[in-house]
C-alpha cells in the first residue's frame, strides 16, 4: 500500500494525504475519508519516507546493561510510558554489561537516525566519551553523573551515609559485598557513603572484609561464603544491591545463622525481591520509575529544542526502608 493508493481510495490528492500524515491542515471531511481508508487498510507510513519529510523518525534508542534487573525494568517502564504518550517508539538494546556493546549500540542508533538516545550508564570508558562526542542527536544518561551531558541519577553517596548511620548503631564487625569501583555511582559512591555513615557511629570496616561481586544473587552467595571463611565472626553484611543481599541471605540460612540476631543484612534498591525475602530486607528506596520518566521527558525537551538543548543534571531523592533483616 502506497500513499498514492491511499489518495486514490480516499478521493483526494497525494499532497493532501501527505499533509494529513504530517499533521498539516486538511479539511475535516477529507481528513475523515483519509482516516477511514488508513484504518481499513492498516497502512503505516514508511519510516524512511517520514524521515525525508520531517527529519524525525519518532524512534528513541534505549541502551540497558541487562534485562533481568528490577531497577532497570522500573526505569524502562517509566521511559516507555512517557514515550508512548507522546507518540514515540522505543528501540531497546541490552548489552549484558558488555562495555564494547554499549559503544557499538551508541553508534548503531546514531547511524540509523533515531531522534534521541537514553544510555543507562554503568562503566563509561574513553571509547564511550569519544563516541558520545560524535553523536549529533540528544543523549540522556541515566544512573550516572556525566560531565557535559544531561543526566538523571540517584544520590548514592548520601543514601549510603544514611544506611551506614542506621546499621552502625548495632554493628560491631562489618563485611561488605560491593561492586567494581569502575562503576562510580554503585561502586564508589555507595561504598564511600556507607563508610562515612558507619564512621559517624565509630564503626570501621577492615578492607579484608570487603568483596567485589558482579550484581548477581549467585555472586552474592559465593562472596558471602568466601567472606565468612575469612571472618566467621561478622555480625553485619551490607550489600551494594538487593540482589546481592538475597544471595548473602541464602548462604546465611544454609550455615544456620539467624538473621538479624546473628548477622544483620541490608541492601540498596528496594526491589520487589526485598519485601519477598525471609526475613524482609532493609534497604534504600530509589525512585527508579520516576528516573525513567524524568529521563524521557528531558530527552523529548531536548529533541524539541531543535539543536539548542539546555543541559540539565537531576539528582533524585531516596528513602531508607527498615525491615526485618536489621536489628
- Read off the pLDDT of each residue in 80-95 and give the average, rounded to a whole number: 94
Q: What is the pLDDT averaged over residues 272-282?
A: 96
Distant-in-sequence, close-in-space partners of 7: CB < 8 Å, separation ≥ 6: 13, 14, 16, 17
Mean pLDDT value across residues 5-26:
85
Q: At what angle do helices 156-168 and 190-199 cross, to 10 degrees?
A: 40
In this prediction, residue 307 carries a pLDDT of 66
pLDDT in tens, 97-119: 899 999 999 999 999 889 999 99
- pLDDT confidence of residue 305: 85
Please state whether beta strands 174-178 and 59-64 pair in parallel, antiparallel, or not at all (unpaired): unpaired
Average pLDDT, the chain: 92
Q: Which three cell numbers stand for residue 102?
A: 554499549
pLDDT band per the 50, 70, 90 thresholds, residue 262: very high
Spatial distance between the Cα atoms of 243 and 140, rounded to a whole number of angstroms: 26
Number of H helices, E strands in the chain: 13, 12
| pLDDT tens for each residue of 90-101 | 999 999 989 999
Cα–Cα distance, 31 to 10 (Å, whole number): 9
Q: Residue 15: is its pLDDT beyond 90?
A: no
Please report the pLDDT score of residue 52 as a whole number. 46
Q: Which range is least confidently modeled, 111-125, 154-168, 198-212, 245-259?
A: 111-125
Return the C-alpha torsion angle 94, 97, 98, 100, nearest 10.
80
Mean pLDDT of 260-286: 97
Q: How confident is the model over 290-324, as pLDDT tens digits?
A: 999 999 999 999 998 876 778 899 999 999 999 99
Q: Burial-class residue 289 by CB neighbours within 10 Å (0-12, 13-18, 19+).
A: middle
pLDDT value at 260 more than 70: yes
Tell me how far apart the alpha carbons of residues 51 and 143 are, in angstroms, rounded to a whole number.
Answer: 31
pLDDT surpassing 60 at residue 183: yes
- Give the model's pLDDT for residue 304: 87
Q: What is the pLDDT of residue 54?
A: 54
Residue 51 has pLDDT above 60, yes or no: no
Locate 239 and state its grid cell.
550489600
Amino acid at each position: 500500500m502506497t500513499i498514492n493508493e491511499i489518495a486514490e481510495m480516499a478521493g483526494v490528492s497525494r499532497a493532501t494525504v501527505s499533509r494529513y500524515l504530517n499533521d498539516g491542515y486538511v479539511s475535516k471531511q477529507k481528513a475523515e475519508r483519509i482516516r477511514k481508508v488508513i484504518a481499513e487498510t492498516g497502512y503505516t507510513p514508511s519510516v524512511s519516507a517520514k524521515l525525508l519529510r520531517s527529519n524525525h523518525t519518532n524512534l528513541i534508542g534505549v541502551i540497558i546493561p541487562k534485562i533481568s534487573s528490577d531497577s532497570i525494568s522500573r526505569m524502562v517502564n517509566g521511559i516507555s510510558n512517557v514515550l508512548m504518550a507522546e507518540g514515540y517508539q522505543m528501540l531497546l538494546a541490552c548489552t549484558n554489561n558488555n562495555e564494547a556493546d554499549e559503544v557499538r549500540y551508541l553508534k548503531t542508533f546514531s547511524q540509523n537516525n533515531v531522534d534521541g538516545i537514553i544510555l543507562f550508564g554503568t562503566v563509561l570508558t574513553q571509547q564511550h566519551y569519544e563516541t558520545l562526542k560524535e553523536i549529533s542527536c540528544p543523549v540522556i544518561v541515566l544512573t550516572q553523573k556525566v560531565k557535559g551531558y544531561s543526566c538523571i541519577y540517584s544520590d548514592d553517596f548520601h543514601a549510603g551515609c544514611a544506611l551506614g548511620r542506621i546499621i552502625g548503631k548495632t554493628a560491631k564487625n562489618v563485611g561488605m559485598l560491593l561492586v567494581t569501583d569502575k562503576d562510580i555511582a554503585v561502586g564508589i559512591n555507595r561504598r564511600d557513603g556507607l563508610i562515612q555513615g558507619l564512621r559517624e557511629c565509630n564503626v570501621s570496616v577492615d578492607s579484608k572484609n570487603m568483596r567485589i561481586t558482579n550484581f548477581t544473587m549467585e555472586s552474592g552467595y559465593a562472596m558471602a561464603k568466601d567472606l565468612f571463611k575469612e571472618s566467621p565472626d561478622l555480625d553485619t553484611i551490607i550489600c551494594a544491591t538487593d540482589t546481592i543481599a538475597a544471595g548473602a541471605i541464602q548462604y546465611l540460612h544454609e550455615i544456620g545463622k539467624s538473621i538479624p540476631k546473628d548477622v544483620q543484612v541490608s541492601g540498596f534498591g528496594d526491589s520487589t525481591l526485598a519485601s519477598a525475602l525471609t526475613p524482609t530486607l532493609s534497604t534504600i528506596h530509589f525512585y527508579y520509575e520516576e528516573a525513567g520518566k524524568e529521563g524521557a521527558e528531558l530527552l523529548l525537551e531536548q529533541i524539541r529544542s531543535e539543536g539548542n538543548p539546555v543541559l540539565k543534571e537531576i539528582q533524585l531523592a531516596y528513602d531508607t526502608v527498615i525491615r526485618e533483616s536489621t536489628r
